[in-house]
Amino acid sequence: MIYFDKVSKIYEDGTNALLDIDLKIEPGEFVSVVGHSGAGKTTLLKLLLAEETPTQGSVYYESEDIHSLKSSQITSLRRKVGSIFQEYRLIPDKTVYENVAFAMEIAGREDEEIEADVPHALRLVGLERKMNSFPDDLSGGERQRVAIARAIVNQPDVLIADEPTGHLDPTNTYDIVQILRKINDLGTTVILTTHNKGVVDELQKRVITIENGKITRDDSGGLYSM
Amino acid sequence: MFWLNVKRISRTGFVNFFRNGFVTLSAVLIMTITLFVLSTIVLSGALLKNTLSDIKDKVDVNVYFLPEASENAVLEVQKQIENLPEVDFVQYVSREQALEDFEFNYRNNEEILEALDELEENPLGAILNIKTKETSQYESVSIFLEQNYPVDLPESIVDNVNFNQNKEIIDKLTEIIDSGENLGTFITALFILISILITFNTIRLSMHISRNEIKVMRLVGASGSYISGPFIITGIMYGITASIITLVLLYPITYWIGPTTASFFGGLSVFEYYLKSFSEIFLIIFFSSILIGSISSFFAIKKYLREQRKG
């Protein structure tokens, strides 16, 4: 379970990114976080990845306060929480296979495991035929699928997706959403931030709306509403 | 898992070394210059030390006896000196041998030889050439001679002891070599520092080039050592490459200047010394290069990751 306990984040320049956030996310949930640019969605995810520290309050992952963890424990946390971003963040001089295998290498997996799991993850995102291609040879949708494969290959408990469809056309957006739904069906908690009304309405899952750093709506099975 | 990580870190470091060609070139170049200065100092130090030891070899204490001193008396003194623990050996030169040597040394000087002929008797006394085990022991032998055979007493058979002039030469040379070594150490330390700073910055540049990769590594949960390891391996490889280049370049250079150094430094060719002491020079250059490469990389990655965490 993920739990934000009265969390506020005020940046050094005085920006109130999040104010007094109370939020619980149960294992296996699919949660969409919606809101305008600068509303605080990305900060919420960064707090969960321990990339930012809260100014007030605590963030818990399975009863552990994330921000009181040692750096080695944060490393283990990040292996349990896969993440994908709008700008893909792939390594350009590694092939599709190598980009995905890289995440497993870092987690200390054996070569045999890597050889078995990487093709499986790529099959799940429909890229088994592009294993030897480089990111520059792929479309935006395909790159995002590689990023998803990399995020899920270590079988994380939680998948964080920060605007993953931001650069994609409607067809690719639909495909990515279907993949995220499939991953969620397999038991992984998915936290998705998006501006895309169509995506949220299509999913018909829990929707959290953030405005000016505050949660203004929290509807299970809700629709996009601003 | 440990060895698996070591294998992967080494492989990534190896790939980075070849991938960032320009960064590699500049780091290797500056480290080669440093190692070259270091080897020059090692070689010149060896040449100077060899020269000093040559000069020390030629140094002895000569006890000149009066011509009227009997052979038995001189041999008695020789026996006493030989009993001193610091004395290596004592060579007896008879009056006749001393005259022969004198005539040989001045064979081209007509005036001196004519003056010698005019004298009815051999004017030279016997000589004892004393060699000690260490140069520093000449002084104590000299003190022994002064106390037991004072020159200024009427009954003395010793005419002169010539140690003091040689002592000054030895002290002066030792002083020059010591200052040379100090200056050499200072220049080496300075170059090592400059090399560490430049390598430090080139590694930072290579980290900047790999910043996206570092971001991804952090994102997927790489530990600090997994991120920094490849850069340290790359730094060590800069060092190893620079040391190989330096050792290879030293061969033709020492070969070329070998004859000059042989005539200048009392017969020791720097080329022969390089070949004879190759294993020692190899170890100094090789381990210095690894030290420079790893220290620079370690501090560069530490600083970079700290800045990234703050940023």
Tell me the pLDDT tens digit for each residue of B148-203.
887 777 778 888 887 655 666 667 767 776 777 787 778 778 877 887 887 788 77
Phi and psi angles of residue B44, each rounded to the nearest 5 degrees, phi first: -70, -35
**Residue A70 token pair:** 């040692």
- Chain A residue with Cα closest to B225: A72
Is the CB of A106 less than 8 angstroms away from the CB of B1? Answer: no
- What's B66's DSSP letter? P
Instruction: Give the integer Cα–Cα distance in Å for B61 and B90.
Output: 10
Q: Which of A133-137, A218-222, B80-84 has the lowest mean pLDDT?
A: A218-222
Query: Region A129-141: what's the mean pLDDT?
Result: 93
pLDDT over 90, % of chain A: 55
For chain A, report the end-to-end CA distance as a whole number of angstroms: 27
B4 shares contact with chain A (CB less than 8 Å): yes
**B217 vs A76, A82, A106: nearest CB:** A106
Chain B residues within 8 A of A89 when measuring between CB atoms: 212, 215-216, 219
Query: Region A150-168: what's the mean pLDDT?
Result: 90
B216 shares contact with chain A (CB less than 8 Å): yes
Q: How far is B238 from chain A (nearest CA, A)?
A: 22
What pLDDT, on the 0 to 100 scale, is given for residue A34?
Answer: 92
**B4 vs A76, A79, A108: nearest CB:** A108
Is the CB of B219 less than 8 angstroms away from the CB of A79? Answer: no
Q: Which among B178, B188, B185 is positioned nearest to B52, based on CA atoms?
A: B178
Instruction: Give the integer Cα–Cα distance in Å for B100 and B257.
Output: 41
- Stretch (H or E) spanning A187: none
B1, B15, B220, B226: best mutation site toward chain A, by most A Cβ within 10 Å?
A: B220
Query: Region A80-109: what's the mean pLDDT?
Result: 88
Burial class of B186 by CB neighbour count within 10 A (0 to 12, 13 to 18, 19+): exposed
- Whether pLDDT at A155 is above 80: yes
Average pLDDT, rounded, for chain B: 83
Over residues B252-288, the pLDDT tens digits come to 999 998 888 877 776 778 888 889 889 999 998 999 8
Q: How far is A169 from chain B (nearest CA, A)?
A: 25
Is the CB of A76 less than 8 angstroms away from the CB of B221? Answer: yes
Q: Which among A20, A80, A56, A60 is positioned nearest to A212, based on CA atoms?
A: A20
What pLDDT, on the 0 to 100 scale, is given for residue B167?
Answer: 63
**B213 vs A79, A91, A108: nearest CB:** A91
- Chain B residue with Cα closest to A75: B221
- Residue A62 — left, alpha, or beta (φ > 0 → left; ψ -120 to 50 → alpha)? left
Instruction: Give the integer Cα–Cα distance in Å for A85 and A137.
Output: 19
Amino acid at B176: I
**Residue B218 token pair:** 């952090």
Over residues A63-79, the pLDDT tens digits come to 899 999 888 888 888 88
What pLDDT, on the 0 to 100 scale, is given for residue B212?
Answer: 78
Chain A residues within 8 A of B224 when measuring between CB atoms: 71
pLDDT over 70, % of chain A: 98
What's the angle, vertex CA A218, arms to CA A213 and CA A224, rounded to 5? Answer: 90
**B223 vs A49, A75, A110: nearest CB:** A75
Instruction: Give the integer Cα–Cα distance in Å for B211 and B303.
Output: 14
What pLDDT, on the 0 to 100 scale, is given for residue B127?
Answer: 92
**Greatest distance between any 2 Cα atoms in chain B:** 105
Pairing verdict, β A2-10 and B61-65: unpaired
**B221 vs A78, A89, A90: nearest CB:** A78
Q: In what order do the strands lie in the sheet with A189-194?
A: A81-85, A158-162, A189-194, A30-34, A206-211, A214-219
**A83 vs B4, B219, B223: nearest CB:** B219
Residue with tokens 């919606």: A34
Residue with tokens 């540049």: B205
What pLDDT, on the 0 to 100 scale, is given for residue B309?
Answer: 65
Chain A residues within 8 A of B5 when measuring between CB atoms: 108
pTM above 0.90, yes or no: no
What lies within 8 Å, CB to CB, of A42 at 6+ separation is A162, A163, A193
Chain A residues within 8 A of B1 when measuring between CB atoms: 108
Chain A residues within 8 A of B221 when measuring between CB atoms: 75-79, 106-107, 154
Query: Region A42-59: what's the mean pLDDT?
Result: 92
What pLDDT, on the 0 to 100 scale, is given for residue A19?
Answer: 92
pLDDT per residue of chain B (311 residues) written in tens, 0 to 9: 778 888 888 988 888 888 778 888 888 988 898 888 888 888 887 777 777 777 767 777 888 898 888 889 889 889 988 988 888 889 999 999 998 988 888 888 888 888 888 887 888 899 998 888 877 777 788 888 888 887 777 778 888 887 655 666 667 767 776 777 787 778 778 877 887 887 788 778 777 877 878 888 887 888 888 888 888 898 899 999 999 999 999 999 999 988 888 777 767 788 888 898 899 999 989 998 888 888 888 888 888 877 776 55
Residue with tokens 């792939």: A90
Chain A residues within 8 A of B228 when measuring between CB atoms: none
Alpha carbon dihedral B130, B133, B139, B144, in 10-degree steps, equals -60
Strands (E), A54-202: 56-61, 64-65, 81-85, 158-162, 189-194
Query: Region A77-105: what's the mean pLDDT?
Result: 88
Instruction: Give the integer Cα–Cα distance in Å for A200 and A208.
Output: 10
Q: Which among B246, B175, B150, B181 is positioned nearest to B41, based on CA atoms?
A: B181
Question: How far is CA B289 from each of CA A3, B231, B293, B295, rounded to the nearest angstrom?
Answer: 51, 15, 6, 10
Q: How far is A221 from chain B (nearest CA, A)?
A: 30
Q: Within a 10 A sphere around the Cβ of A89, how many other Cβ atoms?
A: 19
Q: Within a 10 A sphere around the Cβ of B94, how many other Cβ atoms?
A: 15
Instruction: Give the integer Cα–Cα distance in Å for A5 and A18.
Output: 12
What pLDDT, on the 0 to 100 scale, is given for residue B166?
Answer: 60
Is the CB of A89 less than 8 angstroms away from the CB of B216? Answer: yes
Q: How far is B9 from chain A (nearest CA, A)?
A: 10
Residue with tokens 């390594």: A91
Instruction: Give the integer Cα–Cα distance in Å for B94 and B145.
Output: 19
**Residue A220 token pair:** 């299970």
The HSE-up count of residue A110 (CA atoms within 13 Å, CB side) is 3
Over residues A9-49, the pLDDT tens digits come to 999 888 889 999 999 999 999 999 998 888 899 999 999 98
Whether the CB-CB separation of B209 and B23 falls below 8 Å is answered with: yes
